[in-house]
Amino acid sequence: MSHREGGASFKVGQGFYRRTSQVGRDLAILAAQLEKGDRGQLRVLDSMAGCGVRSLRYWLEGGADWVLANEGNPEMNGILQENLGPMLAAQAGEIQHRDANRVFFQCYDRRDYYDLVDVDSFGSPVPFLNTSLWAVRLGGLVYLTSTDGRTATGHEREQSLRVYGAYGRSHPSGHEQGLRLLIGSTQQQAASKGLGVIPLFSLYAHSVYRVMLRLVSGQQLTEANYGFLAYCHDCGEYETVTWRQLGRISPCSRDGQSRVLSGPLWLGALHDRQYLHRMQTLAQQQGWPSRVKLLQTMIAEADLPPYFYGLGEIGRRSGRDMLPREQLLARLRARGYRSSATHITPQAVKTEADLATCVAIARE
Ligand SMILES: C[S@@+](CC[C@H](N)C(=O)[O-])C[C@H]1O[C@@H](n2cnc3c(N)ncnc32)[C@H](O)[C@@H]1O
């Protein structure tokens, strides 16, 4: 059976293909198009190619001049040869069947760096966070994926320590925490090499976490953007906590105990707003209205606080019917609080106001 996605037709065979992940592939294609437009050339390493849908789309739609489609399972060779046949015939790529880490180090050894390295792993991408950076050109992009929601959302705290070197606790913004643990950990790994990463976009959709990061030569990690997030299970308030404040965290003023601390994690912007605007223009030109809408939400939330409040929680605490999201946002903005929806869930708001203020506004 043949599938269609974007401009690509392909077969899946015994391989892995999830249609709901199209949103992550669409956004990657927009980024690839921008990189190609900016540099005039684009070489992509699709390190875990599966049936090859990404490789094909990077070539057909992203404008890639060369795609190395690597898939660890050699049994996928037949389907990859078939799906990527036109690309291979155009001498615009090759297929390999090696462990992704060997491919990354081979790139480094040969000084054969890629403009975009896509790491679409199962579970946590942590075995590849550091190593994938070795294959990326300075100024190039790395696109990381995690499907390990339990660790990301604080339900496997020791596992979180092992893989991210960070303690993730459970709280209502758990999925945003998943993105921030991933960015923070990669940022720290890049910093240990004297480098930095800049998040271009971060996406949580259909239980998958994805971050597109630009590798840059200057250090980006600071005390301000890599720190901790405190949450009180009693009053529902969040607070960012710096390393210097660690020994001086006050208990919650209401019950003196219910605060939990996650981190270290990324506290900086989730997305590069200017880059998202450019992606949005391309999405518009391609006639992708749902992506235009998604990018609009991401633009609005880009540099708001690193958490959100659920509408249900605000409604419950206010003792009133739940206020429609847009109405609550309008009231918050009218009072001068920068506020937006979050792309992570339609049932929440991101705002500079604290929860108590949201609840008071919802009561009016
Ligand atoms: C999530 S699937 C990839 C799906 C594909 N990128 C897509 O968009 O449909 C992950 C793939 O990575 C392969 N894989 C897992 N570990 C690998 C490794 N260490 N090196 C290379 N490939 C690996 C698996 O065989 C599997 O096909």
* For ligand 1, atom 3: residue with the closest CA: 50
Max intra-chain CA distance, the chain: 68
Report CA(17)–ligand 1 centroid distance (Å): 10
Residue pair 50/27 in contact (Cβ under 8 Å)? The answer is no
Average of per-residue pLDDT values in the chain: 95
Give the pLDDT confidence score for residue 40 in this predicted structure: 97
Ligand 1 within 6 A of 50 CB? yes
Superfamily of domain 2-226+267-301: Vaccinia Virus protein VP39 (3.40.50.150)
Q: If we measure between CA atoms, which residue out of 5, 21, 6 comes closest to residue 206?
A: 21
For the segment 348-364, what is each residue's pLDDT rounded down to a tens digit? 999 999 999 999 999 98
Question: Which of 122, 147, 207 to probe ligand 1 with, by most ligand atoms within 8 A of CB?
Answer: 122
Ligand 1 within 6 A of 75 CB? no
* For ligand 1, atom 12: residue with the closest CA: 48
pLDDT above 70 coverage of the chain, percent: 99
HSE (CB half, 13 Å, CA atoms) of 359? 13
Q: Alpha carbon of 263 to those of 114, 222, 234, 245, 318: distances in Å?
A: 31, 14, 20, 13, 30
Residue pair 301/343 in contact (Cβ under 8 Å)? The answer is yes
Report CA(122)–ligand 1 centroid distance (Å): 7
Report CA(224)–ligand 1 centroid distance (Å): 35
What is the average pLDDT across 36-59?
98
For the sheet containing 309-310, what is the strand order?
309-310, 348-351, 339-341
Give the pLDDT confidence score for residue 249 in this predicted structure: 80
Give the pLDDT confidence score for residue 255 in this predicted structure: 62
Atom index in ligand 1 nearest the CA of residue 99 equals 20
Residue pair 265/181 in contact (Cβ under 8 Å)? The answer is yes
Is residue 229 scored above 90 in pLDDT? yes
Atom index in ligand 1 nearest the CA of residue 50 equals 27
31-40, 193-202, 257-266, 272-281: segment of lowest average pLDDT: 257-266
Report CA(120)–ligand 1 centroid distance (Å): 6
What is the average pLDDT across 191-219?
97
Atom index in ligand 1 nearest the CA of residue 17 equals 9
Tokens 């609005």 belong to: 300
Give the pLDDT confidence score for residue 248 in this predicted structure: 81
Atom index in ligand 1 nearest the CA of residue 147 equals 1
Is residue 333 scored above 70 in pLDDT? yes
For the segment 281-313, what is each residue's pLDDT rounded down to a tens digit? 999 999 999 999 999 999 999 999 999 999 999
Give the pLDDT confidence score for residue 252 in this predicted structure: 77
What is the average pLDDT across 123-141?
92
Ligand 1 within 6 A of 71 CB? yes
Give the pLDDT confidence score for residue 253 in this predicted structure: 65
**Cα–Cα distance between 48 and 55 in angstroms, integer?**
10
For the segment 139-169, what is each residue's pLDDT rounded down to a tens digit? 999 999 999 999 999 899 999 999 899 999 9
Q: Alpha carbon of 59 to those of 235, 333, 350: distances in Å?
A: 51, 43, 37
Residue pair 55/118 in contact (Cβ under 8 Å)? The answer is no
Question: pTM for the full model?
Answer: 0.97
For the segment 89-128, what is each residue's pLDDT rounded down to a tens digit? 999 999 999 999 999 999 999 999 999 999 999 888 778 9
Q: Where are the domains of the chain?
A: 2-226+267-301
Ligand 1 within 6 A of 53 CB? yes
Question: Which of 71, 143, 209 to probe ligand 1 with, by most ligand atoms within 8 A of CB?
Answer: 71
Is residue 258 scored above 80 in pLDDT? no
Per residue, the 3-state secondary structure of the chain, as one string, reads: CEEEECCEEEECCCCCCCHHHHHHHHHHHHHHHHHHHHHCCCEEEECCCCCCHHHHHHHHCCCCCEEEEECCCHHHHHHHHHHCHHHHHCCCEEEECCCHHHHHHHHHHCCCCEEEEEECCCCCCHHHHHHHHCCEEEEEEEEEEECCHHHHCCCCHHHHHHHHCCECCCCCCHHHHHHHHHHHHHHHHHHHCCCEEEEEEEEEECCEEEEEEEEECCCCCCCCCEEEEEEECCCCCEEEECCCCHHHCCCCCCCCCCEEEEEEEECCCCCCHHHHHHHHHHHHHCCCHHHHHHHHHHHHHCCCCCCCEEHHHHHHHHCCCCCCHHHHHHHHHHCCCCEEECCCCCCEEEECCCHHHHHHHHHC
* For ligand 1, atom 17: residue with the closest CA: 72
What is the average pLDDT across 203-227?
97
55-64, 87-96, 124-133, 326-335: segment of lowest average pLDDT: 124-133
Question: In the structure, what pLDDT confidence band is assigned to residue 254 with cuts at 50, 70 and 90?
Answer: low
Ligand 1 within 6 A of 16 CB? yes
